[in-house]
């Protein structure tokens, strides 16, 4: 309970001293970093890096260390179904896992026997990744808020109360991301998800600021690392094409009609094909670049084909059925083998089915669309971890103004707290005590999925309500 409240507590404190501005953010960010460092140096006996909630077969640092070891001993890092991540990650993080061992020989030698190597350097990288992510979220939030203000102004809806309320949603989102217990646990528990999240956020930042090369780089890297961000290409294109989130475009149009006489130049929203074209060019460039790097990296012991098989193939075929907080492992453990392919297609197309309708309905709010996509994919992905939830919960803060009157916030909060505490207990009951069984743990996974669904549904509906409200206000204004 205590840690779970931290996030809300801080966003709250931020809400209260809403004039704090940049100073408040810096202070809290520094405290967050110190808090992480303290947790890293003081690992306690929680075994975070072996918790199924934190490290999945894709993000576990122990698997990465194993892959690096295999590579060092001239074998394919993918041999033996241990490592399933990117070869680039292996080259960057792999040396750190070994180095830390040699530095802290004495204490680590003791730890290693327990199967718990301590990777101080790696965790520093993750802390840094978290910090950069939060700064990027903050910058994105600023951008979004400026755009929001601008569009409200152009609709003549901006009044004093909204203007003076200087609580920056970017600051809050960044702090929510930094202080979210899920983020902290993922960072301290040495999963690679902070790095994956960083690239996803980088994509959004690049797209929101209109930097096509940056957005392309982020998207290519994020897709390379965890595949699911691939669907973010749609929000990125929309973001680059239309610009950041705005009220529905027909509102502006109707405004034009209403004030047709005053001769102002029409503020038509034009889809900028040039930027999209830039994006596509840069994407292909970066993809080639990453592929070349990968092929250099795996050349000695394997091939690119093996890499694709062991990373994307592993994600798509759900080979590893060890329990996690997702809903797929149990299902595929139970399903008959000859139906397996069918259900694989069904489950994966679940994500794909939702892409188009959501894109049509939310095309004027591409950032929010990205949030919804991330939330849905982190719910339905094959190896979810709390790091994925940390990402979308952080992004949720970006839409604070729009989602201010979201329903069930208290219910959802209690649900998240309850499930995240109940899930380790059920796991313990099943694995260590032997008095429970897999159903106990899976029940919490289903409850967790339900809460995520409620969160997505509620946030989307309150966003649409917000749009409706804007429409109502602006039409009533026009009629006056």
The footprint of other proteins on residues 100-119 (CB under 8 A) is 109-110, 113-114
Rg (CA), the chain: 23
The footprint of other proteins on residues 21-50 (CB under 8 A) is 44-47
Nearer to other proteins, 316 or 443 (CB): 443
Binding residues with other proteins: total (CB under 8 A) = 54
Question: Smallest distance, Å, CB 109 to other proteins?
Answer: 8
Binding pattern for the stretch 436-475 against other proteins, x by CB under 8 A and - elsewhere: ---------------------------------xx--x--
The footprint of other proteins on residues 391-420 (CB under 8 A) is 401, 404-407, 409-410, 413-414, 417-418
**Contact, 136 vs 96, CB < 8 A?**
no
Report the C-alpha gap between 80 and 241 in whole angstroms.
45
Question: Smallest distance, Å, CB 361 to other proteins?
Answer: 21
Report the C-alpha gap between 430 and 436 in whole angstroms.
4
- Is 258 a binding residue for other proteins by CB under 8 A? The answer is no
Q: What count of other Cβ atoms lies within 10 Å of the Cβ of residue 358?
A: 19
- Is 426 a binding residue for other proteins by CB under 8 A? The answer is yes
Binds other proteins (CB under 8 A): choice among 304, 344, 422, 438: 422
Nearer to other proteins, 306 or 401 (CB): 401
Question: Smallest distance, Å, CB 144 to other proteins?
Answer: 15
Question: Smallest distance, Å, CB 407 to other proteins?
Answer: 7
Nearer to other proteins, 295 or 428 (CB): 428
Q: What distances in angstroms separate CA 460 from CA 375, 396, 467, one per listed residue?
A: 11, 11, 11
Cβ neighbourhood burial of 433 (10 Å; 0-12, 13-18, 19+): exposed
Long-range contacts of 319-322 (CB under 8 A, 24+ apart): 319/81, 320/57, 320/81, 320/383, 322/52, 322/57
Query: How is residue 431 written in tokens?
Result: 């694995």
Binds other proteins (CB under 8 A): choice among 26, 81, 162, 300: 162
Q: With b meaning 16 or more CB within 10 Å and e meaning fewer, what string describes 323-341? A: bbbbbbbbebeeeeeeeee
Q: What are phi and psi of 192, to 5 degrees?
A: -85, 5
Nearest to 138 by CA among 400, 433, 403, 328: 400
Q: With contacts defined by CB under 8 A, name the span among 156-164, 177-185, 217-225, 316-324 that binds other proteins.
A: 156-164
- Is 1 a binding residue for other proteins by CB under 8 A? The answer is yes
Binding residues for other proteins (CB under 8 A) = 1-2, 5-6, 8-9, 11-13, 15-16, 44-47, 109-110, 113-114, 152, 157-159, 161-162, 165, 401, 404-407, 409-410, 413-414, 417-418, 421-422, 424-426, 428-429, 432-435, 469-470, 473, 476-477, 480
């Amino acid at each position: 309970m205590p840690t779970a409240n931290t996030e809300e507590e801080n966003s709250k404190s931020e809400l209260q001293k809403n004039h704090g501005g940049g100073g408040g953010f810096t202070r809290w960010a520094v405290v967050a970093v110190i808090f992480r460092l303290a947790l890293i140096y003081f690992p306690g006996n929680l075994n975070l890096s072996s918790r199924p909630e934190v490290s999945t077969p894709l993000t576990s640092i122990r698997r990465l260390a194993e892959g690096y070891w295999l590579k060092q001993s001239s074998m394919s890092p993918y041999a033996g179904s241990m490592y399933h991540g990117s070869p680039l990650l292996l080259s960057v993080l792999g040396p750190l896992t070994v180095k830390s061992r040699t530095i802290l020989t004495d204490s680590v030698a003791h730890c290693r026997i327990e199967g718990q190597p301590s990777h101080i350097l790696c965790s520093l990288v993750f802390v840094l990744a978290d910090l950069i992510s939060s700064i990027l979220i903050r910058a994105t939030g600023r951008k979004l808020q400026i755009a929001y203000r601008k569009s409200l102004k152009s609709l003549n809806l901006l009044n004093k109360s909204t203007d003076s309320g200087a609580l920056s949603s970017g600051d809050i989102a960044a702090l929510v991301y930094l202080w979210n217990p899920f983020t902290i646990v993922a960072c301290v528990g040495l999963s690679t998800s902070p790095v994956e999240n960083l690239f996803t956020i980088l994509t959004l930042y690049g797209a929101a600021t209109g930097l096509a090369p940056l957005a392309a780089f982020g998207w290519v890297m994020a897709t390379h690392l965890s595949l699911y961000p691939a669907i973010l290409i749609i929000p990125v294109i929309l973001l680059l094409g239309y610009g950041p989130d705005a009220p529905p475009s027909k509102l502006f149009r109707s405004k034009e009609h209403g004030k047709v006489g005053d001769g102002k130049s029409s503020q038509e929203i034009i889809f900028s094909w040039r930027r999209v074209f830039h994006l596509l060019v840069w994407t292909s460039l970066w993809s080639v670049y990453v592929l070349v790097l990968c092929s250099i990296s795996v050349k000695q012991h394997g091939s690119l084909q093996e890499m694709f098989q062991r990373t994307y193939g592993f994600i798509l075929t759900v080979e590893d059925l060890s329990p996690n907080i997702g809903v797929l492992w149990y299902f595929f453990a139970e399903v008959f083998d000859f139906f397996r392919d069918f259900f694989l297609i069904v489950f994966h197309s679940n994500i794909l089915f939702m892409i188009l309708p959501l894109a049509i309905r939310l095309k004027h709010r591409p950032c929010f669309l990205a949030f919804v996509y991330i939330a849905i994919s982190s719910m339905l992905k094959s190896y979810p971890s709390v790091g994925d939830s940390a990402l979308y919960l952080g992004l949720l803060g970006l839409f604070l103004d729009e989602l201010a009157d979201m329903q069930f916030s208290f219910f959802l909060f209690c649900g998240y707290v309850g499930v995240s505490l109940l899930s380790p207990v059920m796991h313990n009951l099943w694995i260590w005590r032997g008095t429970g069984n897999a159903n106990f743990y899976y029940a919490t996974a289903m409850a967790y999925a339900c809460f995520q669904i409620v969160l997505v549904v509620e946030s989307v509906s309150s966003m649409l309500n917000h749009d409706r409200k804007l429409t109502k206000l602006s039409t009533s204004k026009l009629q006056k």
